Structure 1
Amino acid sequence: MNRIHTAKIVVIGAGFAGIAAAATLFEAGFQHVQVLEAMGRVGGRVYTMRPFGSDIIELGANWIHGQEGNPLFELGKEHGLLSEGHSASTKMCLPGSITPCDYFFKEDGRLLQAEDVEQVCALFSRLTTRAFDSELEDRHCCLSLGDYLDNAFAESPLAATEDGLKVFEWCKRCECTDEASSSLYEVSASQISHYEALEGGFFNSLGPGGYQAFIDVLLRKLPAGVIMTNTPVAHIEWALDESGKRSTHPVQIVCEHGQSFEADHVIVTVSLGVLKQRAALMFRPPLPNSKMAAIDKLEIGTVDKIYLCFPERFWPEDCAGIQLVWDNGPEDAAVYTSELEGEAWKETWFKKICGFDTVARHPNVLCGWITGREALHMETLEDVEVGDVCMRLLRSFTGWPVPEVSQVLISRWGRDPYVRGSYTFVPQGVLAEEHGALVAPLPPEPSSDDRKPLQVLFAGEATHVNFYTTTHGAYLTGIREAQRLINLYT
């Protein structure tokens, strides 16, 4: 009998990585594949909802990161899952402009001149591009991303202006959202060059089915009953040799509700946040020191969204976003350093909100973004309290007659017990090669002893050294681990 037909594989997690792995295995002829999902839904960090009517809201993944060479962009084109869209870009304007663009307000209510904002944002983009393109000067290579940007910006005439400095701090807050960090002083300036940005920018015009439509395409490739939701895994027993009690299927997955599954291989696609919290007790025997070190060194940050649904639109038609430029923001180096030891930042958590963007297909909805420790603190607050704070910000910065918000929807990825964060970043002092240690299968192939190889495999965005943080990175890692097993059996 064909070995593929008898091999038993369990996939833990039904996000992009897990579903892609299962679909690839079935397409290759594997017949005994089971997907265990702790949540009551599939999708993982993809979470498409319809809380404000028939049109979708993305509580999780929002963009396709790049177009050229992106398998999810190609999947979207093939199945008609994309709307006519554009790459995300920041546009600044003054009232009366025809093209929708962002309004930048200072804390005193003054609207900043578009050309002044554009100059700072353009410089910030050039400086970050140098880091991503490995073009840093030697003196900057050992610095954090925040320190590098501060040093480089200080050499520009724009740093001599008060407004230039404040817009620069706004840019750093926005970059924290991209990096999922509490501060850019936590992020390595040199190691972000390992991240590969695909050409085409952020494609932010998904079709009316949102990201869930992509998940649905993959789900159609799976037989009925393959995915078991509400099935959190307690621990994984692996590395049994040929004399063990389960010599035929040397891996046992034990779930919190008592179910157990025997397998030849298990593909673990849980988030880095879950691994950080549970890896020490989840695997029996424990994971090798190199893998535990990688889990410890790499970081996962929290990025949350705050959706505000108003009874009517109060912003101008040409306004694509209301951006908040603080006098003394949380990304100021001195402020960040002085608050490291205390908790004063909790009183001003809202200063980490970059602004409020308009939302496609929702003419009366705004979306605020918040990241890092401030996001985690925000998650402890009630929706109504967060909504009240956001209304006060909008009123005080713009001076516009902002109505009472009718609905508030908040993501809480940091507190979700089955996620514990949004996506991965490489902290200062850590090498991006740790992604490689995280992905190494156990035992490796060929096995150095009598144990069956590839008993435990790892996938998910945190395991991709070039595409971490992205949906296509997660998707590709699921295919990668499935192909590793396909190669073993063929």
Structure 2
Amino acid sequence: MKINLSLCVLPLVIISSSRFVQAETIHTKVAILGGGVSGISASVNLTLAGINDFVMIEARDTLGGRAQNVKFANNVTIELGCNWVQALGSNPINILREKHGLVTAPTNYSDIAYIDDKGKKISNGFEVYNKFQDLYDKVDQLGVKRLKNNLVDLSGRTALSLAGWFAKTPLEEAIEYFTYDWETGETPEVSSMMYVANNDNSNYGTIFGPDSDNDRMDIDQRGFRYIFLQEAAKVFKENDPRLKLNSLVKTIEYDENGVIITTDKDIIIADYAISTFSVGVLQHRDVVWKPEMPDWKMEGIFGFHLATYTKIFMNFPKQFWDDNQFTLYANPTSRGLYSVWQNMNAPGYFPKGTDNNIFFVTVTQDYAYMVEAMTDDQVKEQLMDVLRKMYGDDIPEPTDFVFPRWHSNPLFRGSYSNWPIGEMNQHHENMKAPLHNRVFFAGEAMSKDFFGYLQGAWISGEETATHVIQCIKSSCPKAYYYPEIQNNKIPGVTVNKREI
């Protein structure tokens, strides 16, 4: 397929808000599709390389992607999206935290109150928690070893079972959920043992240095996205014509000669494009590709997972829960449902005495889909039933209530990625491989080592921009894909790669 650029210089008339408008045709060297963390990182690196001939297309009226916050209760900023600087040391997100003075609080995952459905404190919770943590560390080490030795992958559930862990009590299920699902966004049954273990090791061990094994939760009233907006401000000046906000990408037409992007406002003709759409958006085909992406690429995309991690915030007239950072509810009937609660009144977090008493709970995967299908009042009623089991019938009603609907939002389709059992390294290489060395792919899901993390998004944007810079200034770096996976011609786990 050859793109007929002569057709695209003609003005296009589209319908917007029930009236005809004339679309602008824009010519540029690079089009960055999406203004999230990866897109911002790509724009920063293009600029540093002296390439300023690019546009960024963002569907929302602001940058930051899944870094989103709102004013809640008595004018306090809470994070609906990413909330933690996960791994310190040389983690680029930690470097941005320090550079821009982001206010954070240290997270102590062992500072937990354990409560059953009768409202009683569970005395052996800390003992069971430590036992599981020790076992999970060994599973991680085994997963990294199996990956290095090119052994067959196992599910997280299989790995835990082989290690001798069988959750038999509501407490054990709650602790397992807190350590596994609450981190990966999905259950051990669907998660890869090897790649999840490598992900943990990359973030908290071998790459960012010995001081990296800590997390800090953002409590900055400017919002987590402040650090990314500050970086973007170095690239885009006020009213910068290269920044196309409130512009929804509708179609992407590509071949070996270039890329044409049609939005609901403009036609953009580019030599190169960097797609930062989430893997969920790619899976849902929310953007039309012309031609369709090849089977080898779609197989990698459809095989990956975008997990949904939903925080449900409530503010109360007073605090009736413990001062611990976390409270684990041992749900007797549904493993992990409304089990992980967090106290924003904990020491070092939001100060007391400001009329804000925020207690929030997180749900993932099927539970996240469930709450998205309910009304706010229905979700609130369920949560209050649980809290009354935990703390008694005389607790007050919440004064404020909010949660995002990440999965059903067509701009996101979820929160962050998780490597599922069955997705091979070759699938992942195919997922991030460029098309004709014209359309490149960035985003946290495209990072083998850092998928699911902000650092994965930032590093992926940087790496992808580097490839595009090389294409512009000299010649594109060699890129490969694996055409034989879809035809099941896999001798063991080795398939022949082919250059793009």
Please indicate the TM-score interval, normalised by the length of the shorter structure. 0.7 to 0.9
Q: Does 1:458 align with 2:441?
A: yes
1:483 to 466, 488, 497: 466
Instruction: Specify the alignment match of 1:428 in structure 2.
Output: 421
Instruction: Specify the alignment match of 1:295 in structure 2.
Output: 301
Counterparts of 1:177-326 in structure 2 under 5 Å? 177-181=182-186, 183-195=187-199, 196-198=202-204, 199-224=212-237, 225=240, 226-241=242-257, 250-255=258-263, 257-278=264-285, 282-316=288-322, 318-326=323-331
Q: Deviations over 1:336-373 (max 9, x none)?
A: xxxxxxxxxxxxxxx52223211231640111000011
Q: Does 1:171 align with 2:175?
A: yes
The secondary structure found in structure 2 opposite 1:300 is: strand
Going from structure 1 to structure 2, the CA distance change for 1:103 and 1:265 (only over 3 Å counts) comes to: same
| Alpha-carbon distance in 2 for matches of 1:176, 1:437 | 27
Going from structure 1 to structure 2, the CA distance change for 1:362 and 1:435 (only over 3 Å counts) comes to: farther
Instruction: Specify the alignment match of 1:404 in structure 2.
Output: 397
2:112 to 96, 102, 111: 102
| Alpha-carbon distance in 2 for matches of 1:56, 1:230 | 24
Instruction: Specify the alignment match of 1:447 in structure 2.
Output: none
120-129 vs 203-212, which moves further: 203-212
The secondary structure found in structure 1 opposite 2:313 is: strand
Instruction: Specify the alignment match of 2:12 in structure 1.
Output: none
- Say if 2:338 and 2:383, in contact at 8 Å, map to a contact too: no
TM-aligned CA deviation for residue 284 of structure 1:
1.4
| Alpha-carbon distance in 2 for matches of 1:431, 1:126 | 28
Q: Does 1:361 align with 2:361?
A: no
TM-aligned CA deviation for residue 400 of structure 1:
6.5
Output the amino acid matched with 1:10: A
Q: Does 1:473 align with 2:456?
A: yes
Q: Deviations over 1:209-268 (max 9, x none)?
A: 231211221121122323222211111111154xxxxxxxx211011x242100011100
Going from structure 1 to structure 2, the CA distance change for 1:127 and 1:433 (only over 3 Å counts) comes to: farther
| Alpha-carbon distance in 2 for matches of 1:135, 1:442 | 32
Output the amino acid matched with 1:105: I
Output the amino acid matched with 2:389: S
| Alpha-carbon distance in 2 for matches of 1:362, 1:376 | 33
TM-aligned CA deviation for residue 154 of structure 1:
4.3
The structure with the largest strand share of the pair is 2
- Say if 2:139 and 2:163, in contact at 8 Å, map to a contact too: no
The secondary structure found in structure 2 opposite 1:122 is: helix
What TM-score comes out, normalization by structure 1 length? Answer: 0.81
- Say if 2:191 and 2:420, in contact at 8 Å, map to a contact too: yes
- Say if 1:426 and 1:432, in contact at 8 Å, map to a contact too: no
Identical columns (%): 25
Q: CA RMSD in A?
A: 2.3
| Alpha-carbon distance in 2 for matches of 1:265, 1:382 | 43
TM-aligned CA deviation for residue 10 of structure 1:
0.6
Going from structure 1 to structure 2, the CA distance change for 1:135 and 1:26 (only over 3 Å counts) comes to: closer
466-475 vs 257-266, which moves further: 257-266
TM-aligned CA deviation for residue 46 of structure 1:
0.5
- Say if 2:218 and 2:224, in contact at 8 Å, map to a contact too: no
| Alpha-carbon distance in 1 for matches of 2:333, 2:276 | 40
The secondary structure found in structure 2 opposite 1:486 is: helix
| Alpha-carbon distance in 1 for matches of 2:250, 2:127 | 53
| Number of matched pairs | 422
| Alpha-carbon distance in 1 for matches of 2:195, 2:213 | 22
Going from structure 1 to structure 2, the CA distance change for 1:261 and 1:173 (only over 3 Å counts) comes to: same
| Alpha-carbon distance in 2 for matches of 1:50, 1:381 | 23
| Alpha-carbon distance in 2 for matches of 1:273, 1:132 | 27
What TM-score comes out, normalization by structure 2 length? Answer: 0.79
| Alpha-carbon distance in 2 for matches of 1:481, 1:122 | 40
Going from structure 1 to structure 2, the CA distance change for 1:310 and 1:180 (only over 3 Å counts) comes to: same
Counterparts of 1:133-172 in structure 2 under 5 Å? 133-134=141-142, 142-154=153-165, 165-172=169-176
Output the amino acid matched with 1:278: R
2:333 to 309, 328, 331: 328
- Which consecutive residues of structure 2, in runs of 5 or more, have no partner in the other structure? 1-26, 205-211, 474-500
1:63 to 79, 84, 105: 84
- Which consecutive residues of structure 1, in runs of 5 or more, have no partner in the other structure? 1-5, 92-100, 242-249, 331-350, 444-453
| Alpha-carbon distance in 1 for matches of 2:152, 2:133 | 18
